[in-house]
Amino acid sequence: MNQVENAIPPLTQLTEDEQMLRDAAADFAKSSIGPLVSEMDEQAKLNPGLIKEFFEMGLMGIDIPEKYSGGGGTFMMSVVAIEQISRVDASAGVFMDVQNTLVNNAFVNYASDFLKEKYLPQLATEKVGAYCLSEAGSGSDAFALKCSAKEEDDHFVLNGAKLWITNANEADIFLVFANVNPELGYKGITAFVVERDFEGFSVSNKEDKMGIRASSTCEILLEDCKVPKENILGEYGKGYKVAIETLNEGRIGIGAQMVGIAQGAFDAAVDYIKQRKQFGKAISEFQGIQFQLARMATDIETARLLVYNAARMKMAGQPFLKEAAMAKFYSSEVAERVASMAIDMFGGNGYVKEYPVEKFYRDAKIGKIYEGTTNMQLSTIAKLLLR
């Protein structure tokens, strides 16, 4: 047996299609997103023209089947695209991340044929989606929902509020989790597809955030909101299953976002230390700087391997919960650590907005919080190890 021919390919080896999308996303990020980053961060708003470009590039429906006007791509293609977009701007990265790994995945895996035919073409070509699970009293305890759904004639009436909803300002299609029978606890949770113009639905307060500022994070209000019965996504009372499975996949997307942030901060640091001179030479020539750079590069590659491994396992239909939790936990640690070290390399310049690394640092912090905090990831990993 030829050991070379039968060797396992490296996790970072991508297919031709994956490489093409990665490169296209990188070019798009550099040419279209890059010039707008500072302005969008200051205004705390994505550029409307940029949103249109995301759809034109096919980045909002990467693994939606072609029969629904999607790209017919793979989960790994979404992962590499999210990484490249986040390398330039994490707000733009999470914008497409939520669409692909949460909203689109939920429709593809759980929606009825009617809902797929109605909504997937819209999500692939023109309309932004949002995922509405969290509430004031249900963060890490995701199933302590107070949002209720009462059945009436040919529709349900939803009441409650959702907090920290990404893409809320831009979205037209919302995946809302509500409880149809609170006495059953999490077994009463059901997923509903809600359109922005449904009676009783509104987008309320927008959060003023430390990082990923151009990504909208808002409160959602449901006040006797009428939702047709056919707009249940998945099974009645099985919304918890939709939530768990989509969040497991979503954590891999967040991992890709964090790898992108780390790589972006690293790239900026490398460019800077080659140009910055002290004591008559570039600071890149000092061994202390070189050692830090080596640690940063090793951390990033380790995080990338964890993320890609989890994505490949998901695509292969293998259990990936532990691997997704590890990828999300570690990549968020790496993003914050690498961005912090990049600021150190910039010195005083790293602390001002004229240079890019302070933004990478602000953007990195959210990785330890959303789609499952670091402590929740560690708890999941430990439980699976001890099982």
Residues annotated as part of the active site:
371
- Judge whether 50 and 92 are in contact, CB under 8 Å: yes
3-state SS assignment for residue 240: helix
Vertex 267: Cα angle to 262 and 268 (nearest 5): 100
Question: Which of 250, 225, 234 has its CA nearest to residue 134?
Answer: 250
Question: At how many degrees (to 10) do helices 90-97 and 239-275 cross?
Answer: 160
DSSP per position, 60-117: TSTTS-GGGTS----HHHHHHHHHHHHHH-HHHHHHHHIIIIIIIHHHHHH--HHHHH
- 172 to 186, 224, 264, 367: CA distances (angstroms): 27, 18, 31, 25
Tokens 């602390």 sit on residue: 351
Cα-Cα-Cα-Cα dihedral sign, residues 253, 258, 259, 261: positive
**Residues forming beta bridges with residue 206, ordered by sequence position:** 218
386 vs 240: CA distance, rounded Å: 24
What does the alpha-carbon distance between residue 105 and residue 248 come to, in Å, rounded to a whole number?
Answer: 11
Q: Taking Cα atoms as reference points, which of 115, 110, 152 lies closest to residue 249?
A: 110
Cα–Cα separations (whole angstroms), residue 199 to 128, 156, 172, 196, 202: 19, 12, 13, 9, 9
Burial class of residue 259, CB neighbours in 10 A (0-12, 13-18, 19+): buried
Are the CB atoms for 167 and 130 separated by under 8 Å? yes
